[in-house]
């Protein structure tokens, strides 16, 4: 027989991990809707060009990580490596911009990147993603960041560090890039890693957040982007920071935070956890004012973020703060053959009335059924056999105290 295994970097999520994912989705839906976000579900597959144009041809995602293939109709398609570009495509295609000045969408689901799998880094992973479109005001940046941190707080995630930066705009950033390029040319470039030597020419900003220790040391004295923001960008970022300060939200200014996707300008941010190893970035985002126009839409500004659900789930599991939210009300143990069908109907009656629980499908020893009841975490174990049937009752055992009582079958709801 074939011995099938899941694809490397892809996971099966059994309970309780799948419960943690549902909990995160429900908490996100609750929090995001309070800020006026509506849910948008976009396809997992898009035309490849949406990502090459949106994310940028020089990024790691586009260069090395996309699951791209030609379909039977000869179209080049890609399994979404992130949600933003697809959300922009849907926004443009539906002409939502003509109907309202500001649109807010949240979406969640699987994303695909051909990365080297390790703890916290998967090839299929899940994001909770938010986009606020149509607002260029710094208040929108502040609201998005406050909402992200509110969500993480309500999900019970602690000890996270918020990092912020401003990448400037299409006017001031090219000048900064030139300065940075000049600085990099002045270094002993043989000492830079291979990626940085290439990026130096194609996308010098990415050299700033290289994690290779040798590169980090070399670029220590690089010109700082915040000092090269134009007055408008400085003023914009100043207001964002003022609001975060006034709201009492702590953050760290990180001038090296450039993000791995090319569409960002002005405010960028990341939320980092120190407790889950090297893949500590649990959320990231920023402003992307030229993206919608680059994808063929009107010149509409936007800002958003995505959280990595696997990483959030890891923190919750490690912290022990998360528990199965719902309890199990009953387990119905069937003591002999003649009680099997009645037991099934009784369980159905309880579930129709909103109780949670399971019923045995076959007669097994009382001991093994009791074990099953306690494994399921049932509050009550209901025992049904020929004797009970003859008297029209059920024996109800409290699993915590061990106490047993007899309940009339037709009043069983009062006991469970
Ligand atoms: P990103 O930084 O590429 O941004 O991803 C956001 C988050 O997704 C990361 O902080 C991380 O938690 C999670 N993540 C990324 N790759 C993996 C992986 N291979 N395995 C597990 N988790 C991963 C974006 O995707 C942007 N689209 C965010 C955004 C939305 N910016 C504006 N709007």
The 10s digit of each residue's pLDDT in 186-235 is 988 888 898 888 888 888 998 998 888 888 888 888 999 999 999 999 99
For ligand 1, atom 18, which residue shows the shortest CA distance?
121
- Share the mean pLDDT of the chain: 94
Please give the pLDDT value at position 321.
67
Query: pLDDT above 90 covers what percent of the chain?
Result: 82
For ligand 1, atom 21, which residue shows the shortest CA distance?
121
Residues with CB under 6 Å of ligand 1 are: 82-84, 113, 115, 120-122, 125, 127, 129, 131, 260-261, 281-286, 304-306, 308, 310-311
- Under-50 pLDDT residues of the chain: none
Atom index in ligand 1 nearest the CA of residue 312 equals: 12
Measured in Å, residue 259 CA sits from the centre of ligand 1 at: 10
**Using one digit for the tens of pLDDT, what is the confidence trace for 100-117?**
999 999 999 999 999 999
Q: What CATH homologous superfamily does 17-172+229-319 map to?
A: Bira Bifunctional Protein; Domain 2 (3.30.930.10)
Rounded Cα–Cα distance for residues 334 and 382 (Å):
8
Q: 328-415: what CATH class?
A: alpha beta
Please give the pLDDT value at position 6.
96
Helix (H) or strand (E) holding 245: helix 231-246
Q: What does the radius of gyration of the chain's CA atoms come to, in whole angstroms?
A: 28
**Using one digit for the tens of pLDDT, what is the confidence trace for 272-296?**
998 887 789 999 999 999 999 999 9
For ligand 1, atom 13, which residue shows the shortest CA distance?
308
Q: Are 267 and 236 in contact (CB under 8 A)?
A: yes
In three-state secondary structure terms, 395 is strand
Measured in Å, residue 160 CA sits from the centre of ligand 1 at: 16
Please give the pLDDT value at position 16.
85
Please give the pLDDT value at position 290.
93
Please give the pLDDT value at position 58.
84
Rounded Cα–Cα distance for residues 388 and 385 (Å):
5
Characterize the bridge pairing of strands 302-308 and 124-133: antiparallel
For ligand 1, atom 15, which residue shows the shortest CA distance?
308
Domain-by-domain residue ranges, the chain?
17-172+229-319, 328-415
Please give the pLDDT value at position 381.
96
């Amino acid at each position: 027989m074939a011995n099938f295994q899941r694809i490397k970097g892809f996971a099966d999520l059994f309970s309780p991990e799948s419960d943690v994912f549902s909990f995160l989705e429900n908490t996100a839906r609750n929090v995001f809707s309070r800020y006026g976000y509506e849910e948008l579900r976009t396809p997992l597959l898009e035309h490849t060009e949406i990502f090459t144009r949106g994310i940028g041809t020089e990024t790691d995602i586009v260069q090395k990580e996309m699951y791209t293939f030609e379909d039977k109709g000869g179209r080049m398609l890609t399994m979404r490596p992130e949600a933003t570009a697809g959300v922009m495509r849907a926004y443009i295609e539906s002409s939502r911009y003509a109907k309202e000045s500001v649109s807010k969408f949240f979406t969640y689901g699987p994303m695909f990147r051909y990365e080297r799998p390790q703890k916290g880094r998967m090839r299929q992973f899940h994001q909770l993603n938010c986009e606020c479109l149509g607002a260029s005001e710094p208040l929108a940046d502040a609201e998005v960041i406050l909402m992200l941190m509110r969500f993480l707080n309500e999900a019970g995630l602690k000890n996270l560090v918020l990092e912020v930066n401003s990448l400037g705009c299409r006017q001031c950033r090219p000048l900064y890039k030139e300065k940075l390029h000049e600085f990099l040319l002045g270094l002993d470039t043989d000492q830079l890693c291979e990626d940085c030597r290439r990026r130096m020419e194609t996308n010098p900003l990415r050299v700033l957040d290289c994690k290779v220790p040798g590169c980090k040391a070399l670029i220590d004295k690089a010109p700082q982007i915040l000092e090269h923001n134009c007055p408008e960008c400085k003023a914009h970022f100043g207001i964002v920071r003022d609001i975060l300060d006034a709201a009492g939200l702590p953050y760290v200014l990180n001038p090296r935070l450039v993000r791995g996707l090319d569409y960002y300008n002005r405010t960028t941010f990341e939320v980092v956890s120190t407790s889950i190893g090297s893949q500590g970035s649990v959320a990231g985002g920023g402003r992307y004012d030229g993206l919608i126009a680059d994808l063929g839409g009107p010149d509409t500004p936007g800002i958003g973020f995505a959280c990595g659900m696997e990483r959030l789930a890891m923190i919750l599991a490690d912290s022990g703060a998360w528990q199965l939210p719902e309890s199990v009300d009953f387990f119905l143990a069937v003591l002999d053959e003649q009680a099997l069908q009645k037991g099934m109907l009784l369980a159905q009656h309880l579930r129709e009335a909103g109780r949670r629980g399971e019923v045995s499908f076959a007669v097994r020893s009382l001991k093994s059924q009791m074990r099953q009841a306690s494994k399921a975490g049932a509050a009550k174990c209901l025992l049904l056999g020929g004797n009970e049937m003859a008297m029209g009752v059920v024996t109800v055992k409290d699993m915590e105290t061990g106490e047993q009582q007899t309940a009339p079958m037709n009043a069983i709801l009062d006991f469970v």
